[in-house]
């Protein structure tokens, strides 16, 4: 009566508002290719175990391929009455191939179907995000190589702390992204389990071959419990958590680029192509792209919370609540991708103002720790050295000069162990060169680390191709 695929026990039409309210095809149509992939694997398996005929399988496969081509040509009209991507495609298939189309759903439910579709879709999306992430990392490694010996102030508490190199800073960003990459790999691995065959919740009475469908779809193995398989969305939450952290990293990078491009810092120029003007203040060039990345971070982090809240009260197994997962997931994927794409172009094009960075490192008594270390090498206990240098810095502040501009005699009044060779450690170059160990900021180390990063990234990119 109701005209629905599931309408056998219904005698009234669905309320129109309910149709709009409950349909997901507006947003889940983007799963079409993966839905078709899953359906073909399922049908091939049904034919192999003898549940449907070889001819039916051939019709189903040809019909689904045709539908895929129609969708890609923009020729399929998605219908809200048909609720979701699954029933739109199945109904179109039946129009095309008749009874064979009606046999496709044997031994399957939309519950295991959607669980399979999203895993397939997300697996590909993670690959795309990782690919984009690698492009950003390559950009960072290249800037690091070019700026391996560009001295700048390093900060703690937003106060000048010690001299570092710009290349070292770029490689710090790269480390953050390296962890994001591996978190995504972990998540893709753990989610690569095939729910197909779990049917609505309890499995199916047909003698299906779950190993076959799992293998055909590139999953590592079939899920071990049919109830969990249709109810589980952990993998989405895990992905969104990894994506949230990735966005937090992109946001921290954005914050630094925004600060660095202010008149007060003036460390970098983000380039006209990545900035926008003000509608009222003609002199302005604003770092809006970095600000947007920082702003979009809130979306993905919000989606993580949304997905956690979506799951917290759900009894096993499938509940329609789960339909709400998709927009949050899709937006998380889209947001990460577009931000990474912007960064992969913006960062390599950033103009690094070496002179300004050097001048900024000269302020703030950034080599004070070097002076303390120098005294320690002259047998002064570190805590005494700290005190002596504190007083020396105070004196330099009073004289309004840098440490290396103090005469030797002025320094010697605070500690007689200070000799002529102190000036070697008070320069910025001396300071960075001295930090010559694994993970240190010495330009030679940074250059080597940038080259290593580039080599490792090139290998990873090849594996991805």
Binding residue (CB under 6 A) for ligand ARG from 66, 323, 349, 412 = 323
Task: State the binding string over 82-101 for ligand ARG (x if CB under 6 A, else -).
Answer: --x-----------------
Show Cβ contacts of residue 41 under 8 Å, excluding neighbours closer than 6 positions: 196, 213, 216, 217
Minimum distance, C-beta of residue 31 to ligand ARG, in the bound complex (Å): 9
| CB of 195 or CB of 443, closer to ligand ARG | 195
Q: Is 370 near ligand ARG (CB under 6 A)?
A: no
> Considering the rule CB under 6 A, would residue 111 count as an interface residue with ligand ARG?
yes
Among 253, 249, 236, CA closest to 178: 249
Say if residue 412 is exposed, middle or buried (CB neighbours under 10 Å; 0-12, 13-18, 19+). middle
Interface with ligand ARG includes 9 (CB under 6 A)? no
**Per CB under 6 A, does 297 bind ligand ARG?**
no
Q: Cα separation of 389 and 375, whole Å? A: 9
CA angle 96, 2, 198 (to 5 degrees): 65
Minimum Å distance from CB 109 to ligand ARG? 7
**307 near ligand ARG (CB under 6 A):** no
Nearer to ligand ARG, 104 or 246 (CB): 104
- Could you say whether residue 135 binds ligand ARG (CB under 6 A)? no
Q: Contacting ligand ARG (CB under 6 A), which of 320, 355, 421, 437?
A: 320
Angstrom distance (rounded) from CA 80 to CA 86: 12
Segment interacting with ligand ARG, rule: CB under 6 A, options 110-118, 127-135, 218-226, 248-256:
110-118
Measuring CA to CA, which residue among 301, 278, 329 is closest to residue 115? 329
The answer to whether residues 271 and 261 touch, using CB atoms and an 8 Å cutoff, is: no
Whether 386 is a known active-site residue: answer: no
User: Is 222 strand, coil or helix?
Assistant: strand
User: Pick the catalytic residue: 53, 182, 278, 298?
Assistant: 278
Q: Is the peptide bond before 212 cis (omega within 30 degrees of 0)?
A: no
CB of 153 to ligand ARG, least distance (A): 52
From residue 198, give the alpha-carbon distance in Å to each of 47, 214, 330: 18, 12, 25
CA–CA gap between residue 399 and residue 383 (Å, rounded): 25
d(CA 271, CA 287): 9
278 is catalytic: yes
Task: Count the residues of the shown chain that bind ligand ARG, applying the rule CB under 6 A.
Answer: 10
Q: Which stretch binds ligand ARG (CB under 6 A): 106-114, 217-225, 288-296, 386-394?
A: 106-114
Q: How far, in Å, CA of 293 to CA of 182, rounded?
A: 22
Q: Which helix (H) or strand (E) holds 53?
A: none
Q: Binding to ligand ARG (CB under 6 A): which residues in 28-67?
A: 28
Nearest approach in angstroms of CB 318 to ligand ARG is: 6
34, 42, 59, 157: the catalytic one is 157
List residues near ligand ARG by CB under 6 A: 24, 28, 84, 110-111, 114, 318, 320, 322-323
Catalytic residues: 157, 278
């Amino acid at each position: 009566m109701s005209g629905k695929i599931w309408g056998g026990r219904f005698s009234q039409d669905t309320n129109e508002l309910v149709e709009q309210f409950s349909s997901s095809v507006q947003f889940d149509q983007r799963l079409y290719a993966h839905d078709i992939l899953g359906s073909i694997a399922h049908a091939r398996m049904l034919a192999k175990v003898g549940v449907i005929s070889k001819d039916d399988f051939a019709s189903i496969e040809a019909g689904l391929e045709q539908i895929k081509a129609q969708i890609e040509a923009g020729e399929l009209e998605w219908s809200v009455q048909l609720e979701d991507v699954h029933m739109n495609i199945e109904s179109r298939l039946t129009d095309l191939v008749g009874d064979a189309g009606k046999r496709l759903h044997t031994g399957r439910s939309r519950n295991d179907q959607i669980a399979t579709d999203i895993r397939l879709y997300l697996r590909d999306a993670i690959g795309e995000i990782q690919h984009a992430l690698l492009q950003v990392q390559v950009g960072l490694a290249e800037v690091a190589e070019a700026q391996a010996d560009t001295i700048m102030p390093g900060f703690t508490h937003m106060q000048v702390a010690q001299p570092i190199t710009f290349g070292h800073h770029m490689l710090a960003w790269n480390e953050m992204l390296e962890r994001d990459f591996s978190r995504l790999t972990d998540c893709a691995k753990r989610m690569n389990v095939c729910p197909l065959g779990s049917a609505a919740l309890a499995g199916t009475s047909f003698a299906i071959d779950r190993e076959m469908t799992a293998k055909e779809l590139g999953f590592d193995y079939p899920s071990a419990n049919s109830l969990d398989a249709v109810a589980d969305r952990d993998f989405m939450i895990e992905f969104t958590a990894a994506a949230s952290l990735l966005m937090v990293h992109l946001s921290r990078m954005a914050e630094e680029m925004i600060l660095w491009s202010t008149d007060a810092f003036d460390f970098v120029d983000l380039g006209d192509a990545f900035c926008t003007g003000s509608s009222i203040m003609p002199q302005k060039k604003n770092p809006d792209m970095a600000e947007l990345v920082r702003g979009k971070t809130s979306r993905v982090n919000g989606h993580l919370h949304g997905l956690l809240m979506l799951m917290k009260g759900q009894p096993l197994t499938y509940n329609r609540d789960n339909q709400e997962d998709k927009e949050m997931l899709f937006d998380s994927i889209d947001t990460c991708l577009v931000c990474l794409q912007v960064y992969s172009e913006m960062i390599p094009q950033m103009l690094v103002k070496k002179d300004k960075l050097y001048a900024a490192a000269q302020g703030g008594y950034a080599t004070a720790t070097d002076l303390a270390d120098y005294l320690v090498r002259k047998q002064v206990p570190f805590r005494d050295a700290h005190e002596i240098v504190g007083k020396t810095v105070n004196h330099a502040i009073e004289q309004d000069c840098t440490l290396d501009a103090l005469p030797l005699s002025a320094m010697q009044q605070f500690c007689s162990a200070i000799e002529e060779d102190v000036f070697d450690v008070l320069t910025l170059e001396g300071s960075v060169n001295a930090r010559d160990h694994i993970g240190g900021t010495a330009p030679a180390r940074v250059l080597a680390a940038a080259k290593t990063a580039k080599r490792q990234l090139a290998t990873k990119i090849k594996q991805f191709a």
